[in-house]
Structure 1
């Protein structure tokens, strides 16, 4: 009984301490001011009153990102998060007709009818300028205009602060985040239950925050000196001192969190830097070292436990702190500037039970530190295994993040079209509609699948890239990309002649895209070779303009996701062979996707039945071939939904498709291919192309 009573008393004391960390309830006048000037939450408050553990699941959006916003709504609902938190989309268009707000409200009705959860759309961004207003609707796009983008992001931060001030905890995520699991219990477990803000990371590694915290705690002195001395080699710094990414954040309604949000707003008002740079400055410059656990009682100083009385701030940080009122300074909690034993600390994550401990035992460990102007904002950096980014999820491969809560689609090189392509390719796109897979006559769209074996010399080229020194050119990687682009170029030509949509197979890469930054051709912990995202090689956002009909490798899985039945009849095949390959050998040619890509963690198989019988003589394409030859080979397949072409590049030819019917068609095709292909792979002392052959050149082969 005594043990139980002691445990109850300790719990009560901790809850009382947490209660003291919460801000005062705002007055009715202050709420009215926020509703009128920042974001109107009157209807939301009536539906979900603020208070302890009242949570908002939030994003912001504009007309340009409707598809991503729709995906965010449905993915959040599918993850189960909207049962425990109120979903809020803050619309940031300022056109007098409020087009995005109206669209959002209509989409919220559809989500409620489909999955039975409520998404509330509210108007924000009331201080947006005419400059942003003028660039609102179709002009590509004010997200690409730095000044206008900064205006948007400043309004986003102001809205987030206003929601905190209303008395809510906030899970914020950008619209290009796909949620797979509900993280709310996770955020209330372990030391995460005591943080002011938890934020995702741009780290290009999977990391273990516990290891670093243990190392740091063995060092003497206050945190600031410890942090500096701990970062004494490049690899450790790259793992533990990466920028955080504000695309996934959890904010707890505390005094410290409100202080940080206010400082973030003020910094953005004063600076031309983007929101993420300002946030990183705020939480890292005062970084007073990693900790394993936070205080559960007030700090107690004595002669042996003296807190730092002067904050060692530089530049604008010092000026910003100096501008705080005496009352604000007096209210600042200096826990982070005190010795570890100046307070009673909570139980470290490693000593806890439950679901959080299961993640902990798998090595999914946040790292904790103090930040903010006060040096005492409790910050958690979330593990990339659970909250992935564009490198740790897509470059590493989803199979290396099997328990992920979410992935933020960052490090993308083809805008929102590239982001949506990645979502679709890896089954994270929740907007699948049957009409995207059917013609206007409601029959199956006609698609083309292509298969080839990577020649041994190309495999060797891919594997050779890992020995590339920093700032050197990975020639093998570029030769392999060019070989694969020539196959895709031929496949796009066949698809254009036959009026089919090409299922673009994944590229096998021996090098990450920004290779000049790296030793051994990799970023962070990216394993090589990798099934690289399409936007590393091509530009999906240019496909429509370039008249390229193309879909992702997981097209057939996504078609089923849209509610259509799987194809059961094996798809017929067309075989490509050079003139010197005998007919029987050609008819039996059946490439298998090369093992080098199937062994990567990012490989997505093209999943549909394919005929394994020999190809009939009328379906053999002798290389090099022209558009007329393609029409002949496909003449009996016009009504077949899926056709497979096997053997492109199999006999050592540079390219297989030689020409369209006219030179004008050839020139348009060459322009379309070049307009949709990255021209270079980021070499520091110049550029190196991986462009395919032009038809004009192919005609002479």
Structure 2
């Protein structure tokens, strides 16, 4: 399934590749996403539905199989874990107060799930200014009591949609958002191995999302990305970014390493300087010939006597 069919030169009504949040095309995309869930559920299939900016790091199906009581499992925008270190279960619903994020969803095929998804679809189609994620949260939280109305077989699965649906919130350490994965490295703090990461809470649009994946060395690039010719100003080089340690009012334990899309968002757009992420030379696909190539730039009069001709304000020495 695709929102945009490049082979036929047309789209499915949702518009182009990039959708501004809250716009008409964004709403159409949400309707089509929920309609897609309807279609596969009616085929009698369980469904894993993820956004295109979600990176799956390992097989998630065995994890979902651990919670047969849940009709729907969904990721979260929580910026902290509700679980003790080493706990790889679902979030505690009474403590996970942030909105559920529909970027990662698992639907178990049954009548309760069908009914909820049908109602969800009808609700957003009838309300042009309603975001599919907001509608999901409103409906799933209807009539909930996370302390009392929980599943008898698993108290981390809550009763939602007025007692007609069992919902589990996926742990933010294992199914991470942009802040908990790329900045807090919460999976390391909690001593677990993540299953997926969603490129949320970031700057720079699609380029910024790719940059974060590249910094984490989870984005597969072509060979040309590492060896292709380019320019860094007039030096026929690419700028490799530095690792920036920055304090943030949104982080609980500063300083933290901030991605380039946060510290230099202007580089996510079309600029004359070609650049690479700070982990570029650490990434195993990067050839040794690139790693061993050196270019030394002296911008001061204080430089080795053999390096440049005396009096030059800028000189370059290439190994």
TM-score (norm 1): 0.41
Taking structure 1 as reference, are residues 245 and 145 closer, same or farther at Cα in structure 2, changes over 3 Å only? closer
**2:277 matched residue in structure 1:** 552
**1:539 matched residue in structure 2:** 265
Q: Could you report, residue by residue, the CA deviation over 1:315-348 in whole angstroms, capped at 9, with x for unpaired residues? A: xxxxxxxxxxxxxxxxxxxxxxxxxxxxxx43x4
Structure 1: gaps spanning 5 or more residues: 1-89, 102-124, 217-226, 231-238, 295-344, 350-366, 447-494, 512-520, 588-614, 623-627, 641-701
**2:136 matched residue in structure 1:** 279
**1:571 matched residue in structure 2:** 294
Check the 8 A contact 2:150/2:159 in 1, yes or no: no
Measured after TM superposition, the shift of residue 262 of structure 1 is 0.9
Distance 1:179 1:93 in 2: 22
Measured after TM superposition, the shift of residue 206 of structure 1 is 1.3
- Confirm whether residue 257 of structure 1 aligns to residue 137 of structure 2: no
Instruction: Provide the secondary structure at the position in 2 that maps to 1:264.
Output: helix
Measured after TM superposition, the shift of residue 264 of structure 1 is 0.9
1:410 alignment partner, one of 195, 200, 223: 200
Instruction: Provide the secondary structure at the position in 1 that maps to 2:233.
Output: helix
Measured after TM superposition, the shift of residue 551 of structure 1 is 0.8
Measured after TM superposition, the shift of residue 537 of structure 1 is 2.4
Instruction: Provide the secondary structure at the position in 2 that maps to 1:198.
Output: strand
1:136 alignment partner, one of 16, 20, 39: 16
Instruction: Provide the secondary structure at the position in 2 that maps to 1:172.
Output: strand
Check the 8 A contact 1:172/1:249 in 2, yes or no: yes
Higher strand share: 2
Distance 1:249 1:551 in 2: 33
Distance 1:619 1:286 in 2: 75
Measured after TM superposition, the shift of residue 619 of structure 1 is 5.1
Kindly report which structure 2 residues correspond to 1:226-265, keeping only aligned pairs within 5 A, or say none. Answer: 239-265=95-121
Measured after TM superposition, the shift of residue 557 of structure 1 is 2.9
TM-score (norm 2): 0.85
Distance 1:91 1:147 in 2: 18
Instruction: Provide the secondary structure at the position in 2 that maps to 1:380.
Output: strand
Taking structure 1 as reference, are residues 435 and 244 closer, same or farther at Cα in structure 2, changes over 3 Å only? same
Q: Could you report, residue by residue, the CA deviation over 1:362-387 in whole angstroms, capped at 9, with x for unpaired residues? A: xxxxx321111x42300000111111
Q: Could you report, residue by residue, the CA deviation over 1:563-611 in whole angstroms, capped at 9, with x for unpaired residues? A: x34656473544555x6xxx5xxx5xxxxxxxxxxxxxxxxxxxxxxxx
Instruction: Provide the secondary structure at the position in 2 that maps to 1:498.
Output: coil
Distance 2:25 2:71 in 1: 30
Measured after TM superposition, the shift of residue 500 of structure 1 is 1.7
Q: Could you report, residue by residue, the CA deviation over 1:393-435 in whole angstroms, capped at 9, with x for unpaired residues? A: 12202643651001111011211110000000011102x1111
Measured after TM superposition, the shift of residue 160 of structure 1 is 0.8
Instruction: Provide the secondary structure at the position in 2 that maps to 1:149.
Output: helix
Pairs aligned (count):
310
Check the 8 A contact 2:81/2:171 in 1, yes or no: yes
**2:246 matched residue in structure 1:** 509
- Confirm whether residue 166 of structure 1 aligns to residue 43 of structure 2: yes
1:156 alignment partner, one of 33, 47, 55: 33
Bigger relative contact order, structure 1 or 2, given CA contacts below 8 A and separation 6+? 2
Distance 2:265 2:292 in 1: 33
Distance 2:33 2:167 in 1: 20
**1:355 matched residue in structure 2:** none
Taking structure 1 as reference, are residues 267 and 621 closer, same or farther at Cα in structure 2, changes over 3 Å only? farther
Taking structure 1 as reference, are residues 439 and 389 closer, same or farther at Cα in structure 2, changes over 3 Å only? closer
Check the 8 A contact 1:421/1:540 in 2, yes or no: no
**2:223 matched residue in structure 1:** 434
**2:2 matched residue in structure 1:** 91
Instruction: Provide the secondary structure at the position in 2 that maps to 1:368.
Output: strand
Higher helix share: 1
Kindly report which structure 2 residues correspond to 1:182-201, keeping only aligned pairs within 5 A, or say none. Answer: 182-189=59-66, 192-201=67-76
- Confirm whether residue 561 of structure 1 aligns to residue 289 of structure 2: no
- Confirm whether residue 522 of structure 1 aligns to residue 312 of structure 2: no
Measured after TM superposition, the shift of residue 142 of structure 1 is 3.8
Kindly report which structure 2 residues correspond to 1:24-35, keeping only aligned pairs within 5 A, or say none. Answer: none
Measured after TM superposition, the shift of residue 260 of structure 1 is 1.1
Taking structure 1 as reference, are residues 438 and 527 closer, same or farther at Cα in structure 2, changes over 3 Å only? same
- Confirm whether residue 205 of structure 1 aligns to residue 80 of structure 2: yes
Check the 8 A contact 2:227/2:290 in 1, yes or no: no
Measured after TM superposition, the shift of residue 183 of structure 1 is 1.5
RMSD: 3.1
